């Protein structure tokens, strides 16, 4: 497994400014939150003033005169601050949820638009981490981290202001201590955040180890490597325990050091203030207020340094998410095409011409985005509507390249691919993709029931039409063996079904769609011979009048094809009918004999 290393960088406002566009729709919410934070913080910072008044007017004189209205004012003041904190929390929770939703939605939509090449080189785990973990961390940091930072800074500002009003001489003492405490907290937080990164990385590795240990338990037992797995897991666990203890020790050391500075400042305030009181130059109530300020200003300092350190760490997540959102979409429809035909999320189906299924390659050169060599060189081929084309070759020969170009999952480096005589780029991607029936070797099923998965082929199909499509390819045999029939849950990714059963459901889904173009990518590789015989009859029936691309290694799906293309090292080395290629005695003939021997041995 690969784990990304979080680079240690300083705080970069440029990186955070990348998120400004997400605040445009949340301006009112942010403004309300700021006003509430301002009111709550100002009230909290003014609380020592009430202590000063109580000491000066009730404690020192030894009287209770006027204490009832004073108590009522205090109660009302505390109630107002409490209401502000309630709305503050409510607004921030809403801000976090909205921000997280907006960023995740943008990521999801962008992933839908990205070309197949991007998904081929980025793992599912990587993408899920960006869309889920990183967006959650960013939205939480902005909502609670930033608000805490603003609240702490405002509290310090109000506190310093009130202290300067009460006694500039005593205020200077605390003002000098605040930067010193901040520096100590910052130094410790920098070290803590580095260790926290290591803990997160180790935690990811432990999670991966758990996952491999569970999903690969059968393999581990057959290879007798339980002791090796246990030793590796123990090493990871011990490393995480060690790093976590280091982080706890630093936290335990930081707070006493910062608090000791506050205690020193408090001692100086008491000494200096007591001297001034003795000389009758200062009110005793002011010293009481300063004692409260000396204690209460330490926590915001620690919080500010902690938030800034967390911001530095969260920048990695911003770079990942914005990197995903800025990933260029290489296969895009032209503006005039979108204007006429719409796009993936707002199609104008009323303007779509019917797809007949004719596919032509005109002087096509193609190399994959991450490759240096051409896979196709000056390739030309005309496939009339209704033609069945079989593409054969050894594993890794490049059989899927032609199909991917025909389906516009990739675009030619040079040359053109025509659909019904028109350049495929003159039509929308959705126009073409809506006319495809694609059955993969390892098809994906969505969470839900069997009938729901088949209905994805045509969402407005009735239950009777779905069941008829299932019956046509023998997918109804799956429902008959399950207690809930077609309403049986297929599990996550279809895990409750075998690979062969998933292929049958995928076949039924494609049949229900009734597309003019079929693509069968090793679609019968995991189906037993008897079931394949049933499907072959259905396929031969369904392929009549439709353009079909068949990538297969079983003879039954090859010999009936109108055209066979033989691929070797990404090049078309032979083309012709089954009889023509056998008579030629070339690569196909050798491959055919090898496949025939393989089927006989099976």
H-run or E-run covering 419: strand 414-419
Please report the DSSP string for 540-602 in residue order: HHHTTTSEEEEE--SGGGTTT-SEEEEEETTEEEEEE-HHHHHHHTSHHHHHHHHHHHHHHH-
- Dump pLDDT digits (tens) for 418-428: 999 999 999 99
- Dump pLDDT digits (tens) for 525-581: 656 666 666 666 666 666 777 899 988 766 666 788 889 998 887 678 899 998 999
For 197, other C-beta atoms within 10 Å of its C-beta total 17
H-run or E-run covering 365: strand 359-366
Give every CB contact of residue 321 below 8 A, 6+ residues apart in sequence: 103, 107, 130, 134, 135, 138
Please report the DSSP string for 229-249 in residue order: HHHHHHHHHHHHHHHHHHHHH
- Dump pLDDT digits (tens) for 83-110: 999 998 999 998 889 898 999 999 988 8
Tell me whether residue 345 is exposed, middle or buried, using C-beta atoms within 10 angstroms of its C-beta: 0 to 12, 13 to 18, 19 or more.
exposed
- Dump pLDDT digits (tens) for 157-172: 999 899 888 888 888 8
Under a CB-based contact definition with an 8 Å cutoff, are residues 269 and 170 in contact? yes
For 259, other C-beta atoms within 10 Å of its C-beta total 15
Lowest mean pLDDT among 8-22, 343-357, 444-458: 8-22
pLDDT score at 304:
78
> Buried b / exposed e across 42-70, counting CB within 10 Å, b at 16+?
bbbbebbbbbbbbbbbbeeeeeeeeeeeb
What does the alpha-carbon distance between residue 137 and residue 227 come to, in Å, rounded to a whole number?
Answer: 36
| Dihedral angle, C-alpha 545, 547, 553, 557, nearest 10 ° | 0
pLDDT score at 8:
47
Res. 409: pLDDT tops 60? yes
The residue assigned the tokens 């500010």 is 304
Q: How confident is the model at residue 204 (pLDDT cuts 50, 70, 90)?
A: low
Q: Right CATH number for 13-23+98-325 from 3.40.630.30, 1.20.1560.10, 3.40.720.10, 3.40.50.2300?
A: 1.20.1560.10
Question: Please, which residues bridge with residue 489 across strands?
Answer: 449
Average pLDDT value over all residues in the chain? 83
pLDDT score at 527:
63
Name the CATH superfamily, with its identifier, for domain 439-514.
Answer: P-loop containing nucleotide triphosphate hydrolases (3.40.50.300)
The domain limits of the chain are: 13-23+98-325, 439-514
What does the alpha-carbon distance between residue 155 and residue 40 come to, in Å, rounded to a whole number?
Answer: 9
Question: Please, which residues bridge with residue 422 across strands?
Answer: 419
Query: Mean pLDDT over residues 350-365, rounded?
Result: 92
Positive or negative, the Cα torsion across 479, 483, 488, 493?
negative
pTM of whole model > 0.75? Answer: no
For 532, other C-beta atoms within 10 Å of its C-beta total 21
Work out the percent of the chain whose per-residue pLDDT is above 90. 19
Stated length of the chain: 602
Q: How confident is the model at residue 336 (pLDDT cuts 50, 70, 90)?
A: very high
pLDDT score at 589:
86
Coil/strand/helix, residue 360:
strand
């Amino acid at each position: 497994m690969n784990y990304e290393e979080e680079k240690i960088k300083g705080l970069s406002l440029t990186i955070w400014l990348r998120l400004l566009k997400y605040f445009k729709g949340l301006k009112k919410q942010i403004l309300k939150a700021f006003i509430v934070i301002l009111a709550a913080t100002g009230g909290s910072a003014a609380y020592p003033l009430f202590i000063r008044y109580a000491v000066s007017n009730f404690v020192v004189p030894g009287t209770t005169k006027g204490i009832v209205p004073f108590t009522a004012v205090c109660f009302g003041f505390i109630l107002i601050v409490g209401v502000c904190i309630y709305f503050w929390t409510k607004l921030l929770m809403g801000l976090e949820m909205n921000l997280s939703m907006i960023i995740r939605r943008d990521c999801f939509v962008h992933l839908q638009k990205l070309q197949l090449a991007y998904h081929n080189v980025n793992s599912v785990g990587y993408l899920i981490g960006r869309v889920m973990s990183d967006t959650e961390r960013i939205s939480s940091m902005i909502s609670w981290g930033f608000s805490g930072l603003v609240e702490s800074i405002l509290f310090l500002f109000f506190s310093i202001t009130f202290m300067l009003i009460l006694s500039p001489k005593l205020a200077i003492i605390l003002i000098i201590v605040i930067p010193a405490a901040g520096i100590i907290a910052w130094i410790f937080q920098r070290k803590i955040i580095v260790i926290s990164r290591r803990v997160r990385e180790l935690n990811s590795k432990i999670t991966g180890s758990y996952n491999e240990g569970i999903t690969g338990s059968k393999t581990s037992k057959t290879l007798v490597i339980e002791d090796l797995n246990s030793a590796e897991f123990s090493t990871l666990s011990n490393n995480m325990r060690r790093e976590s203890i280091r982080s706890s020790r630093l936290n335990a050391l930081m707070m006493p050091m910062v608090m000791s500075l506050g205690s020193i400042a408090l001692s100086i305030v008491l000494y200096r203030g007591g001297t001034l009181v003795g000389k009758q130059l200062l009110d005793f109530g002011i010293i009481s207020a300063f004692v409260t300020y000396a204690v209460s200003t330490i926590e915001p300092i620690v919080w500010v340094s902690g938030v800034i350190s967390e911001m530095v760490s969260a920048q990695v997540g911003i770079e990942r998410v914005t990197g995903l959102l800025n990933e260029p979409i290489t296969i895009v429809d032209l503006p005039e095409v979108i204007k006429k035909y719409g796009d993936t999320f707002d199609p104008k189906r009323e303007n779509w011409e019917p797809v007949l299924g004719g596919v032509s390659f005109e002087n096509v050169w193609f190399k994959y985005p991450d490759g240096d060599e051409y896979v196709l060189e000056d390739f030309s081929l005309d496939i009339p509507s209704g033609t069945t084309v079989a593409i054969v070759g050894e594993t890794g020969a490049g059989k899927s390249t032609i199909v991917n170009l025909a389906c516009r999952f990739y675009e030619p480096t040079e040359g053109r691919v025509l659909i019904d005589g028109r350049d495929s780029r003159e039509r929308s991607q959705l126009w073409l993709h809506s006319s495809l029936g694609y059955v993969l070797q390892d098809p994906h099923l969505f969470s839900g029931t069997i009938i729901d998965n088949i209905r994805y082929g045509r969402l407005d199909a009735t239950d009777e039409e779905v069941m008829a499509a299932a019956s046509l390819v023998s997918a109804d045999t799956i429902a008959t063996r399950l207690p809930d029939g077609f309403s049986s849950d297929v599990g996550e990714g279809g895990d409750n079904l075998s690979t062969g059963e998933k292929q049958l459901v995928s076949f039924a889904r494609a049949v229900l769609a009734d597309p003019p173009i079929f693509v069968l990518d090793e679609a019968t590789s995991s189906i037993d011979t008897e079931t394949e015989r049933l499907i072959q009859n259905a396929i031969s029936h369904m392929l009549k009048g439709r353009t079909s691309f068949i990538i297969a290694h079983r003879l039954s799906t090859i010999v009936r094809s109108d055209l066979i293309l033989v691929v070797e090292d990404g090049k078309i080395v032979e083309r012709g009918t089954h009889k023509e290629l056998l008579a030629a005695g070339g690569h196909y003939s050798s491959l055919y004999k090898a496949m025939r021997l393989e089927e006989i041995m099976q």
